[in-house]
Amino acid sequence: MLNQKKIGRYEVVSVMGQGAMGTVYKASDPVIERTVAIKTINLELSREERAEFEERFYREAKSAGRLNHPNIVTIYDVGETENAAYIAMEYIEGESLRDVLDSGVVLPLKRICQIAVQVANALDYAHANGVVHRDIKPANIMISRSRDAKIMDFGIALIPTGSRTQAGTVLGSPKYMAPEQVAGKPTDGRADIFSLGAMLYEMLTGATPFSGDNLSAIMYKIMNEEPAPPSRLNARVPEVFDRIVARALAKRPEDRYPNAKEFSRALRSEEVLAVLDPAQPPQPAQKNVAVAARQHAETDNDPLDVKTEILLPPPQHRCARRAPAATPAAKTRRHALLLAIPVAALAAYLALKPAAEAPPAAVDAGVQHEAGDTVPEPAAVVPTQAAPAPTQPPPPAPLPAAKESPAAAASAKATLSLAITPWGEVFVDGKMAGISPPLTRLELPPGAHTIEIRNGTFASHRVKVNLAADQDMKIKHKFK
């Protein structure tokens, strides 16, 4: 096959690559003078197997030929020679993603997301048109000179039957196959989502999520084991990608993204965009000022100052409350309040003064204040004037009960140690706290908390704890 000069009507220009299923050629279509890529498929089958193959080959190739998407390599023609079938497709100037990864180039996180989003969008389009790829892997993703990702080999992966060893080389690449493919069960678009998740994992970490010394070991891991989170293998990977990859690689199809569009949407979420471009300026602070002003207004009994607080930022609140911006009506009410203070004090004194008490000079002695004292608030005047006669010194006021300082209360913490196998998303009181591992310790305020550990493949583990200050409690759980 390597020395062929012609395949069907196509004139071979050069060999582009060779794999277990056949050889890829660069060729020319003399009829319309177009450069094409021709992929040959070995047909070492019995007569019965070949008849079944031909039927499925043309049916699937015809379905894939209807696909017209910027991120899918277009299929032009199908045919067969004496010992091989072939498919003529769009020729792409560039290299495969497999070649890019094998070259040792470390792709930036943003570039990885761009490739994954383009592949997910192409898969969503294909699935909507009833075509499932079933062999998504780096070798089947072309990166063009314009940096676009294009999926190759649509319509080929499903062509042979999955019950024969020879067909297994075409059915899918073991390291990227979904569990249902490994088990020989019916597959749909969610198998492609699993394969894309495995490919995303490799782009993030440089390693495939499932590897082994032989095919059986790889398939066993796909069926039974969870890979380590990408951030554990590559510290540059933000934890949000751990959750995205974990959902795409869920063992059960129903636990994965329901479709490739949702997968693409997850890769373009605000949380992902925030870690891809952390230099974005923060949101304006006006919203926080308004919230603080509203909370302050809800506890303030003076309606005159509410509008002033909303208009000023938090650091100026105290000054604003003392600003002489009161209206004439407000001044009148405040003057009345100031006059009422001595009147109330005098009325309280006269009501409690004994008839035979000392002359009015004693009244001045009863309300004198030492130098440096401040004038008491109205609430403090009444008990001061109601004190016993000067001949009987008043009893000392009881000391207020000792209170724990706010700083000491805030510094009190409890520690929660985590030992989760193989991994789990940790939620504290319904809020995401991280993924364990790598998360192994949490500092929480003392008190009751609900801890929930989630793994998309297993039932959630939930436990309620009541932590005391400085307590160190351990939660150990293994998903089975």
Residue 305 has pLDDT above 50, yes or no: no
Query: In terms of pLDDT, which residue wins out, 257 or 330?
Result: 257
Residue 192: per-residue pLDDT: 96
Q: 258 with 266: CB under 8 angstroms?
A: no
Statement: residue 116 has pLDDT above 50: yes
Average pLDDT, the chain: 75
Q: What are phi and psi of 345, to 5 degrees?
A: -65, -45
**Distances in Å between the alpha carbon of 106 and those of 100, 109, 197, 268?**
9, 9, 18, 21
Length of the chain (residues): 480
Q: Bridge partners of 81? A: none
pLDDT of residue 380: 44
Residue 429 is among the residues annotated as catalytic for this protein: no
Q: What's the pLDDT band for 320 if we cut at 50, 70, 90?
A: very low
Instruction: Show the domains of the chain with their CATH numbers.
Output: 6-276 (1.10.510.10), 292-319 (no CATH), 413-478 (2.60.40.10)
Q: Is the pLDDT of residue 137 over 90?
A: yes
- pLDDT per residue over 17-34, tens digit each? 876 667 889 999 999 999
Please choose, from the candidates 467, 401, 398, 480, the residue with its C-alpha nearest in 3D space to the C-alpha of residue 428: 467
Most confident of the following: 46-50, 111-115, 132-136, 286-290? 111-115
Give the whole-number percent of the chain exceeding pLDDT 70.
Answer: 66
Strand partners, 12: 27
| 3-class secondary-structure state, position 47 | helix
Dihedral sign computed on CA atoms, order 220, 460, 268, 260: positive
pLDDT exceeds cutoff 50 at 311: no
Instruction: Name the nearest CA neighbour of 101 among 111, 90, 87, 92.
Output: 111
Average pLDDT estimate for 256-277: 94
DSSP reduced 3-state for 340:
helix
Lowest mean pLDDT among 67-71, 307-311, 335-339: 307-311
pLDDT tens profile 236-254 = 999 999 999 999 999 999 9
**Contact criterion met (CB below 8 Å) for 193 and 131:** no
CA-to-CA dists, residue 248 to 23, 154, 217, angstroms: 31, 21, 21
What's the pLDDT score for residue 62?
78
Please state the rounded mean pLDDT for residues 116-133. 95
- Dump strand ranges (E) for 30-187: 34-42, 75-80, 84-90, 94-96, 141-144, 149-151
Phi, psi of 331 (to 5 degrees): -60, -40
CA angle 254–181–457, rounded 5-degree value: 35
pLDDT at 10 over 60: yes
Residue 406, pLDDT above cutoff 60: no
CA–CA distance from 233 to each of 105, 111, 151, 285 (Å)?
17, 19, 27, 37
Given a cut of 60, whether residue 127 has pLDDT beyond it is yes
Decide: residue 229, CB within 10 A, 0-12 exposed, 13-18 middle, 19+ buried.
Answer: buried
CA distance 469 to 75: 67
Measured from the Cβ of residue 188, the count of other Cβ atoms closer than 10 Å reads 14
How many angstroms separate the CA atoms of 466 and 471, rounded?
10
Tell me what the mean pLDDT of segment 109-115 comes to. 96
The pLDDT of residue 379 is 45
pLDDT at 263 over 60: yes
| Distance from chain centroid for Cα 138 | 24
> In the predicted model, is pLDDT for residue 114 greater than 50?
yes
pLDDT tens digits for 164-204? 333 333 345 789 999 999 888 889 999 999 999 999 999 99
pTM, full prediction: 0.56
Q: Are 123 and 193 in contact (CB under 8 A)?
A: yes
Task: Give dist(CA 222, CA 119) in Å, integer.
Answer: 22
The H or E element containing residue 5 is: none
Conformation bin of residue 168: beta by default, left when phi > 0, alpha when psi is -120 to 50: alpha
What is the rounded CA–CA span in Å between residue 173 and residue 211?
12
Lowest mean pLDDT among 88-97, 120-129, 163-172, 244-253: 163-172
Between 38 and 171, residue with greater pLDDT = 38
- What integer pLDDT is reported at residue 418 of this predicted model? 87
Q: At what angle do helices 260-267 and 189-205 cross, to 10 degrees?
A: 30
pLDDT of residue 360: 44
Catalytic residue among 124, 135, 153, 192: 135
Please give the residue that has the higher pLDDT: either 301 or 175. 175
- CA 362 – CA 134 distance, rounded (Å): 103
Q: Which residue has the higher pLDDT, 43 or 118?
A: 118
